[in-house]
Structure 1
Amino acid sequence: MTQLAPLLTGFALSLGLIVAIGAQNAFVLRQGVRREHVGLVVAFCAACDLALIAAGVAGLGAVLGTAPRLVTALSLGGAVFLGWYGISALRRALRTERLDTEPGGAALTRAGALARVAGFTLLNPHVYLDTVLLVGSVGAAQPAGAHPAFVLGAGLASLLWFTALGFGARFLAPLFARPLAWRVLDLLIGAMMLTLAAGLLHRVWSTTG
């Protein structure tokens, strides 16, 4: 049971951050609709997330182990960011958005698909903010023995999402072409992020109060 909480925290945090309209998700969905190199694209996205999250947790964990005040500062910073992200998701739910999943365009080679997904993933500065800094700081603030469970949960969320998005694209594309679907999804993400922010604030309060 002690490992279940950090695993679920990592899972919820990672899922909430990656499930949003963006170039990477649009590309994965496009490849799924076209059935082109889906396994390669899904594996690359999930592996990158896992590697960056693990690096963030491990690197920050080594520093935070000798700096409890830094743990508090990062937890507060994470709570602020999560709160902002949650409010942003709720605001997005009020706007009309859709994901362009039209399968037009020339077919990509395996190398072309890999180069494209690498660009969408690694050239996006938000991926480092989300995985290394945000998820990494929240994971590093977990008890030392809970780090592997947190990383596993976060990596599992990424793998499940990209697998569902890529291999279930033919079923998901019509759904996410509807603005209402993204509104509901953003409402759920907003609620999840605000709940996690409240949890971080409670942890800070408990350790410093």
Structure 2
Amino acid sequence: MTYLVGLGLGLSLIVAIGAQNVFVLRQGLRREHVLLVVTICTLSDAVLIAAGVAGVGAAVENVPWLVSGARWAGAAFLLGYAALAARRALRPAGETLDAHDAPAAAASSGAVAATCLALTWLNPHVYLDTVVLLGTVASTHEARWLFAAGAVTGSALWFAGLGFGARLLSGVLARPGAWRVLDGAIAAVMAVLAVSLVAGA
């Protein structure tokens, strides 16, 4: 169960539309260095999640009352994400993904890797999601490393599906309505997880 909770929360956080996901999608549509991009994104998440679980877990062992605070803080954070996703679903900015917007010349693997690393490690939200939020929620579970394993699995599944399955979604992702449905689903999942987190306090 702990593994599945980690998997669910990891997926719900990582699915949120952002520059990194759009980049992975574009690389998938171009069939350009997809394995490299998926590997960088997945390993980066694994490192950040492990750091969060290790750091917050150690703190909770020394200060037990942090568990209760962690539940409420995590729930508030999830509800905030749910609200933002719901707002994007109700008031879309017209996000689309055109399969024909790729440049004529393929970028080098070094350039693609550098861009992927920058989008991953220079994004402040990645630290809030993986190190702070996932680490905090993991600390509320006895088997926090099992929770972390679930979150890492979610990351690997998402990036692999996003990168290698992008060609199959090119037609759908060209329509703004698809992004509204995705954001609506993200809002619902995060709201449910927030409620379940508080219910376990």
The TM-score with structure 2 as length reference comes to: 0.93
1:104 aligns with 2:124: no
User: Match of 2:13, SS?
Assistant: helix
Aligned equivalent of 2:16: 20
Q: String of CA shifts for 1:60-93, please: whole Å, max 9, x gaps.
A: 1011012121121121111111111112211111
Structure 1 residue 128, shift from structure 2 partner: 0.3
Structure 1 residue 100, shift from structure 2 partner: 3.1
The structure 1 residue matched to 2:188, chosen from 176, 179, 191, is 191
Aligned equivalent of 2:200: 203
- The 5-angstrom pairing of residues 35-114 of structure 1 reads 35-96=31-92, 97-101=94-98, 102-105=100-103, 106-114=105-113
Contact 1:53 1:132 in 2 (8 A): yes
> Unpaired runs of 5+ in structure 2?
none
CA distance in structure 1 between the partners assigned to 2:181 and 2:113 by the alignment: 31
Aligned residues: 198
The structure 1 residue matched to 2:157, chosen from 155, 160, 167, is 160
User: Match of 2:65, SS?
Assistant: helix
> Unpaired runs of 5+ in structure 1?
205-209
Counterpart residue type for residue 54 of structure 1: A
The structure 1 residue matched to 2:144, chosen from 144, 147, 157, is 147
RMSD across aligned positions (CA): 1.3
Contact 1:58 1:140 in 2 (8 A): no
Aligned equivalent of 2:133: 134
Contact 1:21 1:99 in 2 (8 A): no
Structure 1 residue 167, shift from structure 2 partner: 0.7
Aligned equivalent of 1:207: none
User: Match of 1:68, SS?
Assistant: coil
User: Match of 2:77, SS?
Assistant: helix
CA distance in structure 2 between the partners assigned to 1:159 and 1:196 by the alignment: 21
CA distance in structure 1 between the partners assigned to 2:193 and 2:184 by the alignment: 14
Counterpart residue type for residue 50 of structure 1: A
CA distance in structure 2 between the partners assigned to 1:21 and 1:129 by the alignment: 15
Counterpart residue type for residue 200 of structure 1: L
Contact 2:96 2:173 in 1 (8 A): yes
CA distance in structure 2 between the partners assigned to 1:184 and 1:60 by the alignment: 34
Percent identity of equivalent pairs: 51
Counterpart residue type for residue 27 of structure 2: Q
Q: String of CA shifts for 1:184-207, please: whole Å, max 9, x gaps.
A: 211211111111111121122xxx
Q: String of CA shifts for 1:106-132, please: whole Å, max 9, x gaps.
A: 421111111010000000000001100
Contact 2:29 2:170 in 1 (8 A): yes
CA distance in structure 2 between the partners assigned to 1:177 and 1:136 by the alignment: 35
Q: String of CA shifts for 1:159-191, please: whole Å, max 9, x gaps.
A: 111111111111112212212212221121111
